[in-house]
Structure 1
């Protein structure tokens, strides 16, 4: 049976990809005809356009009239550019807002003659319609390394009257006509990506009317700092915005702490989101310590020996909000971390998904949630020679993540917890010598997780076992579309800088290819080793096989008996053809591409290196995933 299924999958691949043989060595793919490898590595459970290029996620909103959620993204092809969207009522399956030409807004107006960059949506805006505040571009190029042309990026309005299929630009000039000049004539690095939000605490502290909208715009000041510029709605139709100052700045290319847990601030901020979180999800109760922001940073070299992008990092920050002595509102970070450690994962954008949305009602969720989508570029931000024409599409959005405040209880109060890092000590128990830690919690959106696990085509189980060396799993999926869940326990003796312990899994493995995912104790890192991941990389330029790595600390946990143990590593690995996402302990995500070629590259194995025996819990594989775009498959 297994050989029959494998054969059918191979025939399907040949039919879709012009007779290519995935049981033989690949050719140089860059000399093939356009679209000849369209299906070879295409994911099926992710948000991506029907073809061509996907860019930043942005402009999401829940339609208050229908309860549907709109996931927006920048889109470009040889003939057009702008923003497109998928609409969902369950956060599992999507339909294109415009099936034929996916754009709902494109450049070419008096405010945006050259480009439309990121923006965000007020769901109930002008005349009760969804209203988009977006970056209108009139001069290019724009980059933090070159002088900025005054007025190159402005903020303009567009309104939809047809449920989001088209956003019509408001017939007026930009509502924010460029970067603030200030008393020192600010020489900005950028001024883009307006993000709108409401917040009760802001209303109270600033004396605003209840329900006022605020807006942060990302950028920085040359040779000085990275910044978020804050604005407040002035009139009911959002045509005037009051500048409230740079509510958060960081000196250029400095670090949070020593940089281990959140890299560098870089030289320019991009795609800033501002929101408040509680333990259950989105929180708008007005606590000054509940504020979070996600930002993309440009230009900072990661200061630890990890293979993170030297140009782009996607970070999250939690902090306190207060009024300064001069009456301006200020944000002061208290912890910071990496939202996704993948070197090509960037430009996160999120939005409130209220309990009244269709998806929440269907799933029985009674809390407001904050969902964030992250972009995964597959050509190193346009810098590699990846065979995009032959593939016919490039890039994807990653699995939507629910963000909330997370806690780690019963952590032994030792040197591991006292660091300027991506967690805070928020509670002490002197009787047990433990603390409670707070951090950002990241989970796969619950609707999709349920759909993947409850409706799997096949479910495989591998019993728990202790291992002291590599071994094969007794199970193997028949395809490259699955989710694997597993847990790993390390002995206390594995901890230490001289530890040689590594443990994890081999995926997408055959005699010719294999990808290793493991935790390395001596530098507290999750690793995705792609050195032997792709037979196609040997002949085809632009297919990356570099190592991906990210920092994850496993704390010492006090057990009920009074003894302590190393925190269990809880892994969820999503394999959606070439997209691989590693989720760990509800606080770590690292996403990448694995360009396996051979049909036989679907085996799984254990990784155990070093002098210690490692305990693996039950391993479960849910095969099949879901088709996120069923109407495209018709």
Structure 2
């Protein structure tokens, strides 16, 4: 049956929405009735309750209806102890258009809520495209836990205000179409007001022929302050984009002390060598334009104290993130060729005394359908936290329209510098051929490897509190090809396990969200010979989605002295149609699954030489993950 626009979406959520029902509400001491916005919004509506719930996640952040993409304005407010997270949102339909911001807050980075008097299903926009300078969209931005002049008790967001569209690097650039604006909140983020002087920057530097200029990030950067001889508390900003005939880059600005509205352009920051033009599976494709770039000012290298780390969302890439030469299956919907990358480079100054970062090495932040990573430095636990947008591109438009929502924000991830000493080599690829590794020689012929580390945030373990634990006494697969059924954990669960992968193993992994007859199955596998992790799908005849792309990314295991070898350490989050895979604190892959109803089984498997077996250690499944149980 069709749902009228007046029917409450609450009926469609079921018991596991993102409403905080088990903790004291962040605004519990507030006596005011408030709304996230003064505007009521037209809402996308599903064709039926079954359409809405069929593939909807339960413990990921996503709005109750409509289209969601880039995470925006992540940050922490020390005056209230609240974490803030916004995202681009079109509440009117499950397609990208009329971009506004949705916004939520949390005390623990797991339970995300709105204001005291609001239910999640009644979410409203906090910034909508209503002004002349942002009438075409409220694009991505950042969070600053103070007012424009440094005022305490005031929050600020800096965002890209778009007045002319489309804005694509492939089209002639309309100067002034992208400007920079600020909105502030004096009530802990419940309501936001634009500055009267917006836009604070009317556009990109006039002497540059830009192709794109958007997605600001603001932070202190101690390394850059040392290089420039500035006070350590100096704020800097980058804006992502590209320049005609120069390629992708970030525009670096210095912000006046106590003056968030006063920006001075310093330089195009990143210097890329010509040899980087050819991508590899280990490095990803730097593309032709950058979006949503973050510098990571608190990541410090022990190998090189002048090293800076950054993340970049790259578009105009030669292909999606698969193995060299592979052509991805576009499925019924299709994906745009883009990557979410990271890089490390030497910070210094050029001959004119302006700052520069020379690219040294880099890799892929996430090897799946993940984009627009955006994060911040958490002062509470002194760590870098990042989220990304998990796309809905694999679902045909008609099915997106039927469910009335599209796009999910990933689980939060910690980014850090991973340093592994006493390395002798890998499974096969030479260490110096892996472009995401920085390799230094130790005494005795061994090596120290440095790379960007990535892992789920520790707080995700809170979801285990109300889950059913499946912990087999022993997981031994003793034949060349054997499958061990772990049970039916449902649609929403977490898996953790460690396995020593023996020589000769073709692949090892799990069958998940599979039917009992295996006509419907998602396979997650690691191939030691190919040095890759792959997620592929077999779609049942009854499935509404007939084809799905295969996601794959390179991953090797390290060899140490005396023949010891690294074990494969896997952590998997399944949330109905969302799959997030992490391995060895340096690999991440986000995928979508759209299985037929009833395909909820989980099994482990090995494909190896006859008589060769493996033993999994510390296998645990937490079944029935939900924020309402945490």
Compute the TM-score of the two structures, normalised by the length of structure 2.
0.84
| Correspondence for 2:280 | 259
| Correspondence for 2:197 | 172
Of 91, 104, 107 in structure 1, the residue corresponding to residue 109 of structure 2 is 91
For the 8 Å contact 1:190–1:218, the answer to whether it is kept is: yes
| Correspondence for 1:23 | none
| Correspondence for 2:501 | 490
| Correspondence for 1:197 | 219
Q: d(CA) in 2 for partners of 1:413 and 1:458? A: 37
For the 8 Å contact 1:219–1:270, the answer to whether it is kept is: yes
Query: How much does 1:602 deviate?
Result: 1.7
For the 8 Å contact 2:314–2:338, the answer to whether it is kept is: yes
| Correspondence for 1:221 | 243
Query: How much does 1:207 deviate?
Result: 3.0
Deviations 1:25-75 (A, max 9, x none): xxxxxxx93554111111111111122111100111111211110111111
Q: Secondary structure at the match of 1:95?
A: coil
Deviations 1:571-591 (A, max 9, x none): 111111111111101100111
- Asked if residue 444 in structure 1 is aligned to residue 431 in structure 2, the reply is no
- Residues 1:249 and 1:323: Cα distance change in structure 2 (over 3 Å): closer
Q: d(CA) in 1 for partners of 2:161 and 2:580? A: 33
- Asked if residue 554 in structure 1 is aligned to residue 557 in structure 2, the reply is yes
Deviations 1:115-152 (A, max 9, x none): 11001111123222111111010100111111110111
| Correspondence for 2:573 | 574
Q: d(CA) in 2 for partners of 1:386 and 1:336? A: 38
Query: How much does 1:249 deviate?
Result: 4.3
| Correspondence for 2:325 | 305
| Correspondence for 1:69 | 83
| Correspondence for 1:24 | none
Of 424, 431, 434 in structure 2, the residue corresponding to residue 412 of structure 1 is 424
Of 515, 521, 525 in structure 1, the residue corresponding to residue 532 of structure 2 is 525
| Correspondence for 1:10 | none
For the 8 Å contact 2:415–2:452, the answer to whether it is kept is: yes
Deviations 1:448-493 (A, max 9, x none): 12x2345432333251324333333242134121111122222345
Q: Secondary structure at the match of 2:86?
A: strand
- Asked if residue 620 in structure 1 is aligned to residue 623 in structure 2, the reply is no
For the 8 Å contact 1:276–1:290, the answer to whether it is kept is: no
For the 8 Å contact 1:201–1:285, the answer to whether it is kept is: no
Q: Secondary structure at the match of 2:472?
A: strand
For the 8 Å contact 1:70–1:88, the answer to whether it is kept is: yes
- Residues 1:292 and 1:452: Cα distance change in structure 2 (over 3 Å): same
Unmatched tracts of structure 2, length 5 or more = 1-10, 15-45, 329-334
| Correspondence for 1:323 | 349
Deviations 1:82-126 (A, max 9, x none): 111221101121112564343211111132122110011111232
Of 32, 36, 39 in structure 1, the residue corresponding to residue 53 of structure 2 is 39
- Asked if residue 148 in structure 1 is aligned to residue 160 in structure 2, the reply is no
Query: How much does 1:545 deviate?
Result: 1.3
| Correspondence for 1:270 | 291
| Correspondence for 1:244 | 266
- Asked if residue 399 in structure 1 is aligned to residue 411 in structure 2, the reply is yes
For the 8 Å contact 2:425–2:560, the answer to whether it is kept is: no
- Asked if residue 389 in structure 1 is aligned to residue 401 in structure 2, the reply is yes
Q: d(CA) in 1 for partners of 2:494 and 2:281? A: 29
| Correspondence for 2:508 | 503
Shifted more, 193-202 versus 409-418: the winner is 409-418
Q: d(CA) in 2 for partners of 1:286 and 1:117? A: 37
Q: Secondary structure at the match of 1:83?
A: strand
Query: How much does 1:305 deviate?
Result: 3.5
- Residues 1:611 and 1:151: Cα distance change in structure 2 (over 3 Å): farther
Of 161, 186, 191 in structure 1, the residue corresponding to residue 186 of structure 2 is 161
Q: d(CA) in 2 for partners of 1:577 and 1:211? A: 44
| Correspondence for 2:471 | 460
Q: d(CA) in 1 for partners of 2:396 and 2:246? A: 31
| Correspondence for 1:338 | 364
Query: How much does 1:251 deviate?
Result: 7.4
Q: d(CA) in 2 for partners of 1:58 and 1:596? A: 30
Compute the TM-score of the two structures, normalised by the length of structure 1.
0.83
- Asked if residue 119 in structure 1 is aligned to residue 131 in structure 2, the reply is no
- Residues 1:52 and 1:193: Cα distance change in structure 2 (over 3 Å): same
Q: d(CA) in 2 for partners of 1:286 and 1:250? A: 21
| Correspondence for 1:361 | none
Q: d(CA) in 1 for partners of 2:547 and 2:408? A: 16
Query: How much does 1:192 deviate?
Result: 0.2
Q: d(CA) in 1 for partners of 2:350 and 2:225? A: 16
- Residues 1:232 and 1:614: Cα distance change in structure 2 (over 3 Å): farther
For the 8 Å contact 1:228–1:246, the answer to whether it is kept is: yes
For the 8 Å contact 2:180–2:198, the answer to whether it is kept is: no
Q: d(CA) in 2 for partners of 1:212 and 1:109? A: 31
For the 8 Å contact 2:279–2:286, the answer to whether it is kept is: no
Query: How much does 1:557 deviate?
Result: 2.3
Query: How much does 1:384 deviate?
Result: 4.1
Unmatched tracts of structure 1, length 5 or more = 1-14, 19-31, 356-366, 495-500
| Correspondence for 2:492 | 481
For the 8 Å contact 1:491–1:565, the answer to whether it is kept is: no
Q: d(CA) in 2 for partners of 1:167 and 1:88? A: 18
For the 8 Å contact 2:539–2:547, the answer to whether it is kept is: no
Aligned residue pairs, count: 565
| Correspondence for 1:296 | 313
| Correspondence for 1:5 | none
| Correspondence for 2:585 | 586
Deviations 1:363-401 (A, max 9, x none): xxxx41110001111125xx9425112212111111110
- Residues 1:208 and 1:591: Cα distance change in structure 2 (over 3 Å): same
For the 8 Å contact 2:480–2:610, the answer to whether it is kept is: no
Deviations 1:388-432 (A, max 9, x none): 1221211111111011111223311576212251111245131xx
Q: d(CA) in 1 for partners of 2:587 and 2:303? A: 27
For the 8 Å contact 1:298–1:312, the answer to whether it is kept is: yes
Shifted more, 544-553 versus 198-207: the winner is 198-207
- Residues 1:85 and 1:16: Cα distance change in structure 2 (over 3 Å): closer
Q: d(CA) in 1 for partners of 2:13 and 2:455? A: 35
Of 384, 391, 399 in structure 2, the residue corresponding to residue 377 of structure 1 is 391
